[in-house]
């Protein structure tokens, strides 16, 4: 992993020419710092539960850690621990983990909500699944599981066989009290969990003032499939890999890379160049498929059901899927990556595969023109999308937004370039940003990213074609069972179609992870929805939701 | 005041054929009843065809095939769909406002059918030809808004309610430009009687290489035609103005709670409405049933199906506007334009005639 | 279809649905109007079955990964509409068939049952994907319902993870075939019924929740030890 130079030379505390100077950062925290831990890619600073806010605030304001990527909670034999994974939007290789241990008897820790707004949901999740409580948190409720759930399933003494009761209140109206002044009438309305616009099972508790949204509160967890628990039950070598395909199920393949990267860094596994090229190519094809779907469903939201654009987007996605099927053997759940490489080479005859993929890429510009004709240059579409669902860059950073959502707000942040992995640094492509901050900008970003992906695939194809036959190593030598050193911790992330997909793994010396935490981009992006849609019209709420392109499988995990 | 079609309405022809005495109110009523039944059946058959045609047309726009298994070209789907929908369980949710809930589908479907009473369809098919034909058509067509409000309000469902509120706002905003644009035609034709409006369009406007272009008002005043088409889209609630239904925002709008027979009625009503809109366009701007070679009724059907095709086209390719934008377009754009159109027409007609 | 092996005395969804005769789910006011004259009924039933088998409105219903393949089934290449089954209605009141495309978790199950209940009879369910059969890859999750049949009766199961669009089309075609032949699927609904909270036996959990939950709330009770 090569570290990139920080792009602007403004001196920040703890920044040296070759990365972070953790001693300087430690000095910055002074007394609040209890201890320092070594994590694989970074260091963990241990602070006391009642110093969380101070420590984080100092780090954010003085050391420039403006991106709270994730909050991991876990339970040890003797303590609970919350880990705040901090990064910088300017240079995501500058990482720092803030570790907050709390006692088992009284797992209360200060909330980071005041410093990073994104901590709100992350801490609720930690409370829900692990059972740590956060002081000063504005809304300490369960987030993924039903309110009436008994126990915290990722805690150590959770009994999975105990009976549970889940309620359904007819015409439930949890926001009965009026959000507006007395002389106006508001109406509470449930959008979802089954609603055509939610693209899955999301529940938006919405308060309307006439046609305008007075308040919206996303209620998630309708697709909480216990992915973290399941990954903790599986062995590193083969069993975990199928699951990432099911997190972001529109652009499946890229997710595998997140686990591959984390586990490979953890267990120190090399990946042959040839496999890297294959990975890069397949991941970008998958990204295209995901963006086509995003485009199609966004058209569904703005145009109405079963319009031409929707169908065309699916036509093109179908082709991308076909190519991936040729390569991997499945249309969606590819399970193509292996630790240390990929599972198989290009299908034989190779020429046919090249030709098919080239055809697809050659047709693409014409198709994209068609999309631009039908979508982005349509006046009504512009009227609908420009200046709706505005997400200012500061707000986006506060909520930890990443991916096309952040890039649509002008935040130049793409892990493929900023925290390079795979074959990306060798290839010639650009990071797309738009300054519009609105729904329109996000659509534009996605459409241009399809072009960039096409560029990458094209270059990979050239490379693959010329690759000498005897150097096509698919996998490096990987031990049959992987048992990383006990208590190694790693947090690493890749850029999937929706943004920064991070994985935290803590090993305990066995062949299964002791804690497996997924940081999904959609989770953070969705959190910004109320910010973007309050005061807008219902129709724009729906469009904004569509332009966030959340995938519930990834939000709820 | 001599229209060629004006003298013989369908009941008169029928009573002639059946030997009924037109002066006897009872026999006259009988003739009118038969005539209405005929026209009603014709229009309902058309709408039934829509079940099939709509899917086929949408499919054609989106590179698909659509129904082709049931009967020739999948045509039997019409039977299957209709019977199946009728035979489904009729769910009347608790706490709906009973009479209104039941009446709404009826109001919607019948108001549109009523409009066809005065439309001249060629070959003497016109049930009545009152002097105020145009006013009557507009009046019954806008009854539908009442049906929508009833449906939305009575359903006791917030989505329905939102849908019906949107429908009212929309209809209010677009009814006025629609009527005003219609009036500009009246200025040209000098009459409200539909058969005379049609007759006025039969003259030749100019000849183009031996082809006589009739003075359809769509050619005479294309501006009014475009305005009218747009307002009409809003009036019948199709894209880009389909916000009362807006399937992705408010589920199915006013028809969310309706199932079975009621749903069929609403569905039919909606499409009869589209056809009524098409019929008005045809009568006012496309020369009614006039056309070469083929009999008038065939031309009439071709024209209304052409307009229907247009609505389906916009549906497949045009985004839906937002409610506030819709209202804005209606009040600030269309209204002004239609008044301008009216004044201009009045001046031109005043100067020329 | 025999329903003699029922063991519970409370009226389960299964009993309620089965009514007095095996073919009750095909009942409609229209058919009832014809009384029980066998001669008319057979012809009429045949016709009605053909009607129901030839055309269906689907419920626009997406849950998880399988729903992506379901959309593909509707879209250009696979075009489910060829079979007269390609009109998704977003309101359950107007739908005949519910394709359940994905994993059902505890929080969603009562909602799904609710949506199912809102559909008018006769209604059919196609379970799409391994998740609706057994919980699929997520079967061991603490939160995952072990198959759609725990909650609603399923007529056709389409296995796969996800099933290819072709497989889903085959499933729908099979469903149409069965409906057209008047075969009703075995209806089984297993332990998790919706109940009023007040009716639950007073045990530890109920005691614990008693002051949080309104007596009239509908609840679904998951007895994980009993589930497969
Ligand atoms: S069966 Fe497989 S593809 Fe379908 S929802 Fe379950 S995990 Fe996803």
Contact at CB, C93 and B256, closer than 8 angstroms: yes
Q: What is the CATH classification number for the domain harbouring A468?
A: 1.10.645.10
- Ramachandran region, residue A399 (left: φ > 0; alpha: ψ -120 to 50; beta: rest): alpha
- Range 246-275 of B in CB contact (< 8 A) with C: 247-248, 251-252, 255-260, 263
Q: Which residues does chain A have within 8 Å of residue C162's beta carbon, measured at their own beta carbons?
A: 331-333
Q: How far apart are CA A473 and CA A272, in angstroms?
A: 6
Contact at CB, B250 and A383, closer than 8 angstroms: no
Task: Please say if the pLDDT value at position A113 is more than 80.
Answer: yes
Domain membership of residue B150 (yes or no) is yes
Q: Which residue's alpha carbon is at the smallest distance from atom 5 of ligand 1?
A: C102
The pLDDT of residue A2 is 40
Contact at CB, A170 and C141, closer than 8 angstroms: no
Domains belonging to chain C, first-starting first, are: 46-180 (3.40.50.12280), 194-226 (no CATH)
Mutate to test the pocket of ligand 1, among C73, C162, C163 (most ligand atoms within 8 A of CB): C162
The pLDDT of residue A133 is 87
Domain region containing B127: 10-352
Q: Which residue's alpha carbon is at the smallest distance from atom 6 of ligand 1?
A: C131
Q: How far apart are CA A57 and CA A63, in angstroms?
A: 9
Of B137, B151, B218, the C-alpha closest to B179 is B137
The pLDDT of residue A173 is 46
Domain region containing A99: 21-135
Burial letters for B267-282: b for 16+ Cβ neighbours within 10 Å, e otherwise?
bbbbbbbbbbbbbbbb
The answer to whether A219 and A203 are in contact (CB under 8 A) is: yes
Contact at CB, C93 and B83, closer than 8 angstroms: no
Number of domains into which chain B is organized: 1
Give percent of chain B above pLDDT 90: 0
The tokens for B286 are: 């496309």
Task: Please say if the pLDDT value at position A175 is more than 50.
Answer: no
Q: How far apart are CA B289 and CA B296, in angstroms?
A: 5
Bond into A349 cis (ω within 30): yes
Cα(C102) to ligand 1 centroid in Å equals 5
Predicted confidence band at A170 (pLDDT cuts at 50, 70, 90)? low
The whole-angstrom distance between C76's CA and the closest CA on chain B is 5
Q: How far apart are CA A249 and CA B287, in angstroms?
A: 55
A302 and B CB contact within 8 Å: yes
The pLDDT of residue C25 is 53
Cα(A555) to ligand 1 centroid in Å equals 16
Query: What is the complex's ipTM, to 2 decimals?
Result: 0.84
Mutate to test the interface with A, among B163, B234, B248 (most CBs of A within 10 A): B248
Chain centroid offset of residue A537 CA: 27
Cα(C49) to ligand 1 centroid in Å equals 31
Q: Which residues does chain A have within 8 Å of residue B242's beta carbon, measured at their own beta carbons?
A: 304
The whole-angstrom distance between B284's CA and the closest CA on chain C is 35
Domain membership of residue B242 (yes or no) is yes
Phi and psi angles of residue A250, each rounded to the nearest 5 degrees, phi first: -100, -30
The set of residues, in sequence order, having a beta carbon less than 8 Å from that of A33 and lying 6+ positions away, is: A26, A45, A46, A47, A55
Domain membership of residue B2 (yes or no) is no
The pLDDT of residue A180 is 43
Contact at CB, B63 and A306, closer than 8 angstroms: no
A310 and A441 in a single domain? The answer is yes
Contact at CB, B62 and A311, closer than 8 angstroms: yes
Q: How many CB atoms lie within 10 A of CB A47?
A: 26
Domain membership of residue B1 (yes or no) is no
Task: Please say if the pLDDT value at position A355 is more than 80.
Answer: yes
Ligand 1 atom nearest the C-alpha of C66 is 4
Domain membership of residue B4 (yes or no) is no
Domain membership of residue B5 (yes or no) is no
| pLDDT tens digits along A479-525 | 888 888 888 888 888 888 888 888 999 888 888 888 898 988 988 88
Predicted confidence band at A79 (pLDDT cuts at 50, 70, 90)? confident
Ligand 1 atom nearest the C-alpha of C161 is 2
Task: Please say if the pLDDT value at position A151 is more than 70.
Answer: yes
Task: Please say if the pLDDT value at position A441 is more than 70.
Answer: yes
Q: What is the dihedral of CA A143, A245, A291, C159, to 10 degrees?
A: -100
Give chain C's radius of gyration (CA, Å).
19
The answer to whether B210 and B135 are in contact (CB under 8 A) is: no
Counting as contact any 3 or more CB pairs under 8 A, the partners of B are: A, C
The answer to whether A488 and A291 are in contact (CB under 8 A) is: no
Contact at CB, A167 and C144, closer than 8 angstroms: no
C222 → chain A, closest CA residue: A164
Number of domains into which chain A is organized: 2
Mutate to test the pocket of ligand 1, among C71, C103, C141, C144 (most ligand atoms within 8 A of CB): C103
The tokens for A328 are: 């991997």
The interaxial angle of helices A538-548 and A273-303, nearest 10 deg, is: 170
C214 → chain A, closest CA residue: A169
The answer to whether C61 and C96 are in contact (CB under 8 A) is: no
A128 and A238 in a single domain? The answer is no
The whole-angstrom distance between B248's CA and the closest CA on chain C is 8
User: Where a domain ends, among A82, A102, A135?
Assistant: A135
A102 and A233 in a single domain? The answer is no
The whole-angstrom distance between C71's CA and the closest CA on chain A is 8
Q: Which residue's alpha carbon is at the smallest distance from atom 8 of ligand 1?
A: C65
The set of residues, in sequence order, having a beta carbon less than 8 Å from that of A221 and lying 6+ positions away, is: A142, A143, A144, A145, A146, A556, C105, C107
More confident residue, A557 or C24: A557
A to B CB pairs, distance under 8 Å: 86
Compute the mean pLDDT over every residue in chain B, rounded to the nearest whole number: 80
Residue range B113-135: mean pLDDT, rounded? 80
The pLDDT of residue A3 is 41
Residue range A450-469: mean pLDDT, rounded? 88
Residue range A525-535: mean pLDDT, rounded? 86
The pLDDT of residue C34 is 57
Q: Which residues does chain A have within 8 Å of residue B321's beta carbon, measured at their own beta carbons?
A: 380, 383-384
The pLDDT of residue A172 is 52
Cα(B283) to ligand 1 centroid in Å equals 55
Provide the whole-model pTM: 0.87
For ligand 1, say whether the CB of C22 is within 6 Å of any of its atoms. no
Cα(C146) to ligand 1 centroid in Å equals 13
């Amino acid at each position: 992993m090569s570290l990139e130079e920080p792009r602007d030379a403004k001196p920040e505390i703890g920044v040296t020419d070759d990365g972070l100077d953790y001693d300087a950062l430690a000095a910055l925290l002074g007394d609040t710092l209890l201890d320092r831990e070594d994590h694989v890619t970074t260091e963990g600073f241990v602070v006391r539960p009642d110093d969380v806010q101070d420590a984080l605030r100092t780090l954010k304001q003085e050391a420039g850690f403006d991106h709270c990527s994730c909050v991991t909670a876990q339970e040890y034999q003797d303590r609970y621990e919350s880990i705040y994974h901090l990064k910088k939007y300017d240079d995501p290789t500058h990482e720092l983990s803030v570790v907050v241990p709390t006692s088992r008897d009284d797992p209360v820790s200060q909330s980071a909500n005041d410093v990073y707004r994104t901590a709100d949901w992350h801490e609720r999740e930690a409370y829900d699944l692990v059972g740590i409580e956060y002081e000063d948190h504005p809304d300490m409720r369960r987030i993924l599981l039903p309110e009436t759930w008994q126990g915290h399933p990722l805690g150590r003494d959770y009994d999975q066989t105990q009976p549970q009761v889940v309620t359904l209140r007819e015409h439930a109206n949890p926001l009965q009290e009026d959000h507006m002044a007395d002389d106006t009438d508001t109406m509470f309305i449930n959008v979802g969990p089954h609603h055509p616009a939610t693209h899955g099972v999301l529940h938006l508790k919405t308060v309307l003032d006439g046609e305008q949204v007075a308040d919206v509160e996303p209620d998630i967890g309708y697709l909480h499939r216990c992915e973290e628990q399941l990954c903790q039950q599986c062995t590193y070598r083969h069993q975990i890999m199928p699951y990432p395909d099911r997190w972001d199920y529109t652009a499946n393949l890229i997710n595998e890379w997140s686990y591959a990267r984390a586990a490979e860094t953890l267990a120190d596994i090399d990946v042959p160049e040839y496999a890297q090229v294959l990975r890069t190519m397949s991941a970008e094809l998958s990204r295209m498929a995901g963006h086509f779907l995003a485009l199609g469903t966004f058209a569904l939201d703005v145009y109405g059901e079963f319009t031409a654009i929707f169908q065309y987007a699916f036509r093109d996605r179908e082709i991308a899927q076909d190519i991936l099927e040729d390569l991997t053997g499945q249309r969606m759940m590819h399970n193509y990556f292996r630790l240390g490489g990929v599972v198989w080479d290009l299908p034989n005859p190779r020429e046919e595969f090249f030709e098919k993929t080239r055809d697809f890429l050659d047709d693409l510009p014409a198709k994209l023109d068609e999309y631009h004709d039908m979508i982005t240059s349509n006046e009504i579409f512009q009227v609908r999308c420009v200046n709706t669902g505005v997400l200012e860059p500061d707000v986006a950073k506060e909520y930890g937004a990443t991916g096309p959502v952040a890039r649509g707000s002008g935040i130049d942040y793409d892990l493929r370039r900023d925290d390079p992995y795979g074959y990306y640094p060798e290839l010639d492509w650009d990071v797309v940003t738009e300054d519009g901050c609105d729904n329109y900008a996000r659509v534009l970003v996605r459409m241009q990213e399809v072009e960039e992906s096409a560029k990458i695939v094209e270059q990979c194809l050239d490379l693959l074609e010329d690759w000498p036959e005897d150097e096509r190593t698919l996998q490096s030598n990987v031990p049959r069972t992987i048992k990383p050193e006990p208590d190694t911790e790693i947090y690493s992330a890749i850029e999937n179609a929706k943004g920064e997909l991070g994985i935290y793994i803590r090993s305990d010396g066995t062949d299964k992870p002791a804690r497996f935490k997924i940081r999904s981009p959609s989770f953070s992006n969705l959190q910004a929805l109320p910010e973007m849609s309050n005061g807008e019209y219902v129709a724009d709420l729906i469009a904004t939701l569509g332009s966030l392109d959340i995938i519930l499988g990834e939000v709820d995990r | 005041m001599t229209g060629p079609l004006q003298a013989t309405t369908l009941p008169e022809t029928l009573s002639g054929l059946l030997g009924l005495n037109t002066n006897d109110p009872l026999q006259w009523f009988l003739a009118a009843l038969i005539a209405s039944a005929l026209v009603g059946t014709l229009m309902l058959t058309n709408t039934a065809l829509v079940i099939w045609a709509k899917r086929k047309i949408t499919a054609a726009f989106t590179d698909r095939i659509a129904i082709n298994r049931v009967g020739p070209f999948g045509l039997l789907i019409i039977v299957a769909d209709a019977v199946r929908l009728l035979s489904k369980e009729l769910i009347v949710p608790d706490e709906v406002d009973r009479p209104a809930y039941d009446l709404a589908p009826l109001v919607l479907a019948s108001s549109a059918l009523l409009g066809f009473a005065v439309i001249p369809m060629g070959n003497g098919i016109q049930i009545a030809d009152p002097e105020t034909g145009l006013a009557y058509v507009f009046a019954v067509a806008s009854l539908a808004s009442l049906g929508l409000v009833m449906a939305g309000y009575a359903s006791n469902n917030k989505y329905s309610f939102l849908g019906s509120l949107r429908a009212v706002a929309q209809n209010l905003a677009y009814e006025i430009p629609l009527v005003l644009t219609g009036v500009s035609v009246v200025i040209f034709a000098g009459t409200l009687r539909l058969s005379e409006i049609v007759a006025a369009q039969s003259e030749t406007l100019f000849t183009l290489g031996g082809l006589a272009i009739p003075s359809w008002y769509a050619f005479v005043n294309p501006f009014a035609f475009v305005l009218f088409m747009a307002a009409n889209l809003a009036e019948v609630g199709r894209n880009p103005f389909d916000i009362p239904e807006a399937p992705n925002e408010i589920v199915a709008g006013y028809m969310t709670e309706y199932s079975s027979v009621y749903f069929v009625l609403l569905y039919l009503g909606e499409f009869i409405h589209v056809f009524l809109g098409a019929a008005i366009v045809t009568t006012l701007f496309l020369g009614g049933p006039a056309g070469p070679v083929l009999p008038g009724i065939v031309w009439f059907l071709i024209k209304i199906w052409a307009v229907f095709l247009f609505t389906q086209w916009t549906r497949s390719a045009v985004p839906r506007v937002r409610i506030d934008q819709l209202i804005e377009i209606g009040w600030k754009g269309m209204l002004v334009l239609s008044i301008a159109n009216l004044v201009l027409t009045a001046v031109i007609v005043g100067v020329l005639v | 279809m025999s329903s003699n092996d029922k063991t519970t005395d409370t009226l389960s969804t299964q009993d309620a649905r089965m009514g007095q005769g095996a073919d009750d789910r095909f009942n409609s006011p229209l058919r009832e109007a014809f009384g029980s004259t066998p001669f008319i009924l057979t012809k009429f039933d045949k016709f009605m079955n053909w009607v129901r088998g030839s055309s269906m409105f689907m419920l626009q219903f997406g849950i998880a990964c399988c729903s992506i393949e379901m959309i593909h089934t509707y879209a250009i290449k696979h075009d489910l509409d060829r079979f007269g089954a390609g009109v998704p209605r977003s309101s359950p009141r107007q739908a005949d068939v519910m394709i359940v495309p994905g994993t059902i978790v505890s929080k969603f199950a009562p909602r799904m049952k609710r949506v199912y209940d809102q559909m008018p009879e006769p209604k059919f369910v196609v379970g799409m994907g391994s998740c609706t059969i057994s919980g699929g890859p997520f079967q061991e999750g603490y939160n995952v319902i072990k198959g759609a049949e725990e909650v609603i009766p399923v007529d056709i199961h389409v296995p796969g993870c996800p099933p290819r669009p072709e497989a889903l089309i085959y499933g729908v075609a099979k469903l149409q075939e069965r409906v057209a032949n008047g075969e009703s699927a075995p209806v089984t609904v297993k332990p998790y019924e919706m109940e009023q909270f007040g009716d639950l036996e007073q045990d530890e959990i109920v005691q614990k929740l008693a002051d949080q939950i309104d007596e009239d709330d509908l609840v679904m009770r998951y007895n994980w030890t009993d589930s497969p």
